[in-house]
Structure 1
Amino acid sequence: MHSFSLPRAGLVALAIGATVTLSACAGGTAPGSAAPASTAPADAATRVALSYPGGILVLDGESLETVGDFSSEEFTRLNSAGDGQHVMVTTSKGFQVLDAGTSAAEPELTDLVFPASKPGHVVTHGGKTVLYADGTSDSTIFDTDALLASTDALPEVQTIPGVEAHHGVSIALTDGTFLTTVGNADGRNGVVAKDASGATLAESADCPGVHGEGTAKDEVVVFGCENGALVYDGGTFTKLTAPDQPYGRMGNAYVSEDSALIVGDYKDDRDAEGYLLHRVALIDTAAKTQRVIDLPEGVEYTFRDIARGPGDLGYILATDGSIHVLDPATGELTASYPVIGAWEGPAEWQDAHPAIKVSGDIAYVTEPAKNAVHAVDLTTGEVVKSVTLEKTPNEIALTR
């Protein structure tokens, strides 16, 4: 691999305080240009990637049989690359590419690594995948499907250097707009939006502790704040104030790109011990409103335990062992599906504890206490498949 300066002045201007570069091997396009035709794998079966201490398992999404087992670092995070076949594995060197395989090809933890200092958030949207490095605040962007056509080298990427390092996140919209968080070693306070020429469209410093993002219908983007949320819509930021002040934190947004409604995790006590939460934020990105609902007593969850699924509903895997179905339009819990045993919150957020991810109508639920994984049909609540593993599952990511 080698790097060279991007010759197009418009994209050079997009860099925030530095020069845009490319790390080149295969073809790619810049934000805002037409994405290449999809080269998604013919085998559309879901694969389930699970981290465990020192390794990663890959399961077939239908049979839950283990089809791959790879050695890795003691703790890794997993995120879908968005192309239906690959998973990004955060390691000490950067984002390592896991090829989860197809019916015709075995899974492989490849030697391909997108270099990054303190690799963090992975965002897939509009045919682009954005990798964020907390150690530099650099954002690496590539065509989501490019990995499918690049089996022995990294695809061409656009790197947008950050200004001051912080735990942040970036997203590229289909019109070329680039949104990225603003902060430094002392904290994070806002978001800036720039167009494809590098000109600032809008910015806001009214989002203390900014964390996470989610894109709803019509490319409206929501960022979580420690006192509410920040909504970006067509060149304008709108601050939504939490009902609890000065601290009412939304940390993660759980979205459907077909719905204007967002579900967010919510914490109302800065000094609360542990990681269990008992309230949920509901945001209407069209009306620009936010409200917070209380969950029934005994129904608690962590950041790993909310997903969106059939009907654009929310699905909360709670400490009582059930998946609770949340209607984000009404704030009502409409059903409850028992799946696993009751569980307690983790002592540290990295510790293995139950998690949920959804593909189509199927939810994949981990049960670390029993080294188990369950597939649940969310249209009926039926557990359609379960498997006991030889390892204790921690992080989970799906290929589709």
Structure 2
Amino acid sequence: MPGPARLGGQRAAETVVVGCADGALIYADGRIAKATSPDEDGSIGTLSGAPNSAVVLGNYSEPTQVSLIDTASDQVHLVGLPAAYSGTSLARGDDGEALVLGTDGQIHVIDPETREVVAAIPVIEEWSVPEDWQEPRPGLTALDGSVFVTDPGTATIHAVDIPTAEVWNTAELNVTPNDLIGVTGDLVAEVSEDDHAHDEDDPAHDHDHDHDHDEDDHDHDDEDHDH
């Protein structure tokens, strides 16, 4: 049955999850199920999925708890943290780990299967969640085997290796970072036979050929003039 308010959505292993005011809706294989929060006012809005995990990480109405939505069992489980966090503080690791950047400046690593906090990695100084949601706050995103953390207080970005708990690079920015998203920057260009056929039909392509023929005719005229 539908939730009273839709707040956010995410994909996880061919499943679509939509957060709402009292849990989450789960769509998979033509079936819609409701995963109800354990608390009456347990709203879920920000979600982070992983292609290799059936569990979706979500925020929760309680500021020191996150939700783990099990799309296989249609259940919402809660994990307590020693610090608060914001909507930009959730990400997933390469192995599907649930990652939360707390206001204590640490990345809290959660095993989505056991629902245990297995590590805490210090990255930045302590910070506070702004009351205005449009105000800059630290961000967290995963890309190419690393996790990146932005700190608007110091205008810096940090690269973190989760398995070794190492902050392996830090760079200063000339802007105040707010939100964060990662892209590979890879460009894949493929030319198919159909594309080549279209090029053959292109008038500009014919013009090039005509130009070549004109050059040949000009060369012949010069030879006749010499004779």
Give the TM-score band, short-chain normalised: 0.7 to 0.9
Q: 2:144, 2:115 → 1: CA distance? A: 22
Matched to 2:44, the amino acid is M
Structure number with greater CO (CA < 8 Å, separation at least 6) is: 1
SS of equivalent residue, structure 2 residue 46 = strand
Q: Cα distance, 1:305 vs. partner?
A: 0.3
Q: 2:90, 2:77 → 1: CA distance? A: 17
List per-residue Cα deviations over 1:251-281 (Å, max 9, x = no partner).
022100221111111114xxxxxxxx21111
Q: 1:291, 1:385 → 2: CA distance? A: 34
TM-score, normalised on structure 1?
Answer: 0.45
Query: Does the Cα contact within 8 Å between 1:262 and 1:282 map onto a contact in 2?
Result: yes
Map of 2:66 onto structure 1: 280
Map of 1:397 onto structure 2: 181
Give the CA RMSD over aligned residues: 1.2
Query: Does the Cα contact within 8 Å between 2:52 and 2:95 map onto a contact in 1?
Result: no
Select the residue among 64, 75, 91 that pairs with 1:289: 75
Query: Does the Cα contact within 8 Å between 1:309 and 1:360 map onto a contact in 2?
Result: no
Query: Does the Cα contact within 8 Å between 2:105 and 2:127 map onto a contact in 1?
Result: yes
Q: 1:377, 1:291 → 2: CA distance? A: 27
Matches within 5 A, 1:1-400: 204=1, 206-217=2-13, 219-245=14-40, 247-268=41-62, 277-296=63-82, 299-400=83-184
List per-residue Cα deviations over 1:131-169 (Å, max 9, x = no partner).
xxxxxxxxxxxxxxxxxxxxxxxxxxxxxxxxxxxxxxx
Q: Cα distance, 1:356 vs. partner?
A: 0.4
Mark the runs of 5 or more structure 1 residues left unpaired by the alignment: 1-203, 269-276
Query: Does the Cα contact within 8 Å between 1:310 and 1:379 map onto a contact in 2?
Result: no
Number of equivalent positions: 184
Query: Does the Cα contact within 8 Å between 2:137 and 2:178 map onto a contact in 1?
Result: yes
Q: Cα distance, 1:377 vs. partner?
A: 1.1
Q: 1:302, 1:285 → 2: CA distance? A: 23
Q: 2:144, 2:119 → 1: CA distance? A: 18
Q: Which has the larger radius of gyration?
A: 2
Q: 1:291, 1:396 → 2: CA distance? A: 27
SS of equivalent residue, structure 2 residue 95 = helix
Query: Does the Cα contact within 8 Å between 1:230 and 1:238 map onto a contact in 2?
Result: yes
Mark the runs of 5 or more structure 2 residues left unpaired by the alignment: 185-227
Q: 1:259, 1:347 → 2: CA distance? A: 33
Q: Cα distance, 1:332 vs. partner?
A: 0.6
- Going by fraction, where is helix more abundant, 1 or 2? 2
Q: 1:282, 1:350 → 2: CA distance? A: 26
Q: Indicate the percent of aligned positions where both proteins have the same amino acid.
A: 38
Query: Does the Cα contact within 8 Å between 2:59 and 2:66 map onto a contact in 1?
Result: yes
Matched to 1:232, the amino acid is Y
Query: Does the Cα contact within 8 Å between 1:264 and 1:281 map onto a contact in 2?
Result: yes
Q: 1:210, 1:347 → 2: CA distance? A: 22
Q: Cα distance, 1:208 vs. partner?
A: 1.7
